[in-house]
Structure 1
Amino acid sequence: MATVPRLLQRLSLDLPIVQGPMTGSDTPQLAAAVSEAGGLGMLGCGMRSPQAMREAAAAVRAATRRPFGMNLFVLQTPSPDPATVRAAIDRLAPLYAELALAMPEPPAQWCEDFDAQLQALIAARPAVASFTFGLLSAAQVERVKHEAGSLVIGTATTVAEARAWAEAGADAVCASGMEGGGHRGSFLDLGSSSQIGTLALVPACVDALDVPVIAAGGIMDGRGIAAALALGAQAAQLGTAFLACPESAIGAAQRAAMARAEGSDTRITRAYSGRPARGIVNAMMEQLDAHADTLPPYPVQNALTAPLRRAAAAQGRADYLSLWAGQGVGLARALPAAQLVALLEREWRAACGRVAGDAQGA
């Protein structure tokens, strides 16, 4: 009988399946459904206010007694130069005109206050506290463990980042390959050197660390889960696969774009948010990629394009949405989350059975 990975034992999980946090596109209903089905549901809280974090955690707990996690962006509140902000706004003028919107003013706040979010997470006491975009200090990691009782997972896109998280005291590391949709979790280097594929990144992290590794990036079905575990990961994190579920928060225009897309239709861009992220190519991406070297960093660009993206969603305009999706988007199944988890389990076990059968017949 196969040994249950210690990560699954610690979290009392039935399956090595983690739902990607998908900040802005996840819902408590999605997280609860995945957890109830035996995986680990996650709340993406990077853009949630502390009050919204409390409400989301309460909603998950009202729907399931199973473990779930909460994810935060590790960010410092920026103070951008006014001239930089004005230039960024002027650059967006044609896009605002296309959607018949008034030009925006700089927002009252560029992002949520991380310290307040961290306090809200600790108060919510999720089974898992995961972090991306940056690195917690060892003292912060210990505080989350001690005060919240949460297992701490750090996101890494290189072995160096994975080691940094392990040295800070993380209980596990999510090794995020460049195939994945949405924002890259890089924090030591946001350039091309951090664009490492899952197949290369995961075993390198497994070999370098003493803590469990979770594989992420381009995993869409049970075959991908089996492959991740064969590489030494103790679980697989799937984002785009769950984005297609009816419980996710994406609108009809994005669902239609996903249904038409293949992996070759996606690329990594800074257009929407100022931080490298993978999505389906559209008009907004192509227009702003021409100015990639001059776009302000996250969260400034993200805040300035937010009204555009909200209006595009309301108007059903996929050409001006941030269509986050990974290279596996062509394999997405628009199934309710519980059905998808059950299907992933069957596919994973079947893939393991095929590999075992092939090994015996060799």
Structure 2
Amino acid sequence: MALSILSRPNPVVAAPMAGVSTPELAAAASASGGIGFLAAAFLAPASLRAEVAAYRTLVDAPVALNLFSPQPDRSAELASQLVAYAAEIAATARKHGVEPGDPRHDEFHFDAKVAYLVAEPVDAVTFTFGPVPETVVRDLQGVGTAVGFTVTSLHEAHQAVALGADFLVAQGASAGGHRGTWHVSDEPNEDSTDDVLSAVSTTGLPVIAAGGVAGRDDVRRLLDAGAAAVAVGTLFVAADEAGSSTAHRDALTSGRFPGTVVTRAFTGRPARALRNAFVADHDGHAPSAYPHVQHTTQPVRQAAATAGDPDAMALWAGSGHAAAARRPARDVVAALWP
């Protein structure tokens, strides 16, 4: 399987980030010699098709995108906890003029998107949050698409190898946003990106290293340690082409929120975010049910973003967030790999 995304002249990967990644952001990273991922986890098939088409009009480069693996439906198993958590955040919701959302299960059109990707192939697809059926891997590879999995440990890497993965994304504890643990109830480890990279490289598969990258020294260190490429997320959140809200960009670059924390409070899955009032009030209380909790908190997060209130938003950020600055994506890439 030819890995065109790992043979680019620039080793910087603009990581997929739901609500942040845009065709313009991905294209800017690719035009700089790296590769920009599209974040397809929450897109409907028609929207995914439109984003791929838009990207292709902007740059002549490989197309890479990420999907979330379908998650178990814990609606019945954790029903009382889900109800209790909705009640807990109700006051925060009403403060923003909304009610908590329905804690429903959702696969976000997974099968339909896979069918589209088999019919209209792209160069690479990665899966985050665990396994997918082996038939999905084989069908994508059968049309020339390289398949990767986000892993946070050697155990997960071995499972990805068993599924036929072409490459891995080794995610360390310092990464912003969701940890890529393979089971929703798993407590994420504290292994650094360097440690995860070292462990999973023993599989022999090419590895993209991800997590905590704040500058070119981090990129060089990870490449020297054996990474085929280095994924960067948080620094692109403040980029001009990103789809992030003004409040999120301000929170990253103002210094108002200096600390990050891994919390289930926003989605039910562990994710690293800036420590704000929502985290202070609700961290440690959400059940490990995804995307049930995400749907519960979504009206609050959306209302807060509309109002420009960062204290009730999910301000995803990695440990290197202090290096984020408002600038074009090409300048972000240049600062990482001139």
- CA shift at 1:168, angstroms? 1.3
**Which ranges in structure 2 are unaligned for 5 or more consecutive residues?**
none
- Native 8 Å contact 1:157 1:195 kept in 2: no
- CA shift at 1:104, angstroms? 4.0
Distance 1:84 1:192, change over 3 A: closer
- CA shift at 1:193, angstroms? 5.3
Partners of 1:50 and 1:250 in 2: how far apart?
22
- Native 8 Å contact 2:64 2:124 kept in 1: yes
Distance 1:205 1:94, change over 3 A: same
- CA shift at 1:64, angstroms? 1.0
- CA shift at 1:118, angstroms? 1.7
Distance 1:51 1:77, change over 3 A: farther
Matches within 5 A, 1:12-51: 12-51=7-46
Question: Greater CA deviation, 313-322 or 186-195?
Answer: 186-195
1:168 aligns with 2:163: yes
Partners of 1:338 and 1:124 in 2: how far apart?
28
Output one character per residue of 1:13-68: Cα deviation in whole Å (capped at 9) or x when no partner.
Answer: 11111111011221111011111111111011111111111111111011111112
Amino acid at match of 1:313: A
For normalisation by structure 2, the TM-score amounts to: 0.93
Question: Helix, strand or coil for the counterpart of 1:194?
Answer: coil
Amino acid at match of 1:251: S
1:97 aligns with 2:94: yes
1:224 aligns with 2:247: no
- CA shift at 1:299, angstroms? 0.1
Question: Greater CA deviation, 197-206 or 187-196?
Answer: 187-196
Distance 1:262 1:125, change over 3 A: farther
Question: Helix, strand or coil for the counterpart of 2:230?
Answer: strand
Distance 1:165 1:93, change over 3 A: same
Aligned to 1:236: 230
**Which ranges in structure 1 are unaligned for 5 or more consecutive residues?**
1-5, 347-362
Aligned to 1:338: 330
Aligned to 2:208: 214
Question: Helix, strand or coil for the counterpart of 2:337?
Answer: helix
- Native 8 Å contact 1:77 1:111 kept in 2: no
1:271 aligns with 2:287: no
1:326 aligns with 2:321: no
Aligned to 1:144: 140
Partners of 2:173 and 2:96 in 1: how far apart?
32
CA RMSD of aligned residues (A): 2.2
Matches within 5 A, 1:42-81: 42-76=37-71, 78=73, 80-81=75-76
Higher relative contact order (CA 8 A, sep 6+): 2
Partners of 1:323 and 1:215 in 2: how far apart?
22
Percent of aligned positions that are identical? 34
Question: Greater CA deviation, 37-46 or 267-276?
Answer: 37-46
Q: Which residue among 292, 302, 319 is the counterpart of 1:310?
A: 302
For normalisation by structure 1, the TM-score amounts to: 0.87
Partners of 2:199 and 2:224 in 1: how far apart?
13
- Native 8 Å contact 2:179 2:188 kept in 1: no
Distance 1:190 1:323, change over 3 A: same
| Matched residue count | 336
Amino acid at match of 2:291: P
- Native 8 Å contact 2:184 2:290 kept in 1: no
Distance 1:42 1:198, change over 3 A: same
Partners of 1:10 and 1:184 in 2: how far apart?
22
Distance 1:31 1:10, change over 3 A: closer
Distance 1:112 1:30, change over 3 A: same
Partners of 1:83 and 1:188 in 2: how far apart?
21
Aligned to 2:292: 300
Question: Greater CA deviation, 161-170 or 177-186?
Answer: 161-170
- Native 8 Å contact 1:110 1:303 kept in 2: no
Output one character per residue of 1:328-358: Cα deviation in whole Å (capped at 9) or x when no partner.
Answer: 0011232211222223222xxxxxxxxxxxx
Aligned to 2:113: 117
Aligned to 2:281: 287
- Native 8 Å contact 1:270 1:289 kept in 2: yes
Partners of 2:298 and 2:183 in 1: how far apart?
26
- CA shift at 1:115, angstroms? 1.3
Amino acid at match of 2:179: R
Partners of 1:70 and 1:229 in 2: how far apart?
22
Partners of 1:263 and 1:153 in 2: how far apart?
33
Partners of 1:312 and 1:39 in 2: how far apart?
34
Distance 1:70 1:193, change over 3 A: closer
Larger radius of gyration: 1
- Native 8 Å contact 2:102 2:296 kept in 1: yes
Partners of 1:10 and 1:19 in 2: how far apart?
11
Partners of 1:120 and 1:304 in 2: how far apart?
29
Partners of 2:188 and 2:115 in 1: how far apart?
33
